[in-house]
Amino acid sequence: MTSLALGPSWLDPTTLISTFGLVGILAVVFAESGLLIGFFLPGDSLLFTAGLLVADGTFLDQPLWLVCGLIVLAAVAGDQVGYLFGRKVGPSLFRRPDSRLFKQENVEKAAAFFDRHGPKAIVLARFVPIVRTFTPIVAGVSRMNYRTFVVYNVVGGVLWGAGVTVLGYFLGQIPFVRENIEAILIAIVLVSVIPVAVELLRARRTAQRTS
């Protein structure tokens, strides 16, 4: 296996999995799904790599169904914590000052994403880095109906958590993918960033028109 040549080495998916195993994957998924400090974690590439390593039998010797099931549980639990945190903190979150691990613009992006897509944003946000961390929190701040949130949370957790992992499992058995895994992981990171870039461009154009 090669390492993803982006960011610090300890954030490399293969390094994380080889060091912490399945427990590390679950911790990252939980943190990225609903904790304010989890927005920088490598969710998409980590799940893809997990599926690939399960297929390869490297570092992960658990069956695919167990890995996927636990990842889905961690993702759903993370969003639940984010939602409850948002309900408790409320509007004060939008007045919190910036710090090294918190940027007000991230909350505002998630709020705009939630306003644009409504309840289905809980599912769509799973596939958008940074936004997926803050969207359940914004849903809690907005007092979204709890039962509705749970339904969309479970659907999103299954599609993202199991879907990306299974994709890595099957694509990882293709020789071309295995021989170019570093390029594939970099492509996943870049593709996952596209929605964020689009939202930033839209926000900038809107600001220019109103100024």
SS (H, E, C) 158-208: HHHHHHHHHHHHHHCCCHHHHHCHHHHHHHHHHHHHHHHHHHHHHHHHHHH
Closest CA to 143 of 80, 95, 84: 84
Task: State the Cα–Cα distance between residues 60 and 30, nearest whole angstrom.
Answer: 19
pLDDT tens per residue across all 211 residues of the chain: 444 444 555 567 888 888 899 999 999 999 888 777 666 667 788 898 899 889 888 888 899 999 999 999 999 999 999 999 888 876 666 666 665 545 666 666 667 777 777 788 888 888 887 778 888 888 888 888 899 999 999 999 999 999 999 999 998 788 877 777 677 777 766 666 666 566 656 656 765 666 5
**Using the 8-state DSSP alphabet, how is residue 92 labeled?**
G
Q: pLDDT tens digit string along 90-129? A: 666 666 666 554 566 666 666 777 777 778 888 888 888 7
Q: What percentage of the chain's residues is helix, strand, coil (to nearest 5)?
A: 80, 0, 20
Dihedral of alpha carbons 61, 66, 72, 77, sign? negative
Domain extents in the chain: 13-208
Type of residue numbered 88: K
Structure tokens at 154: 């479970």
Cα distances (angstroms) measured from residue 15 to each of 70, 164, 187:
20, 19, 18
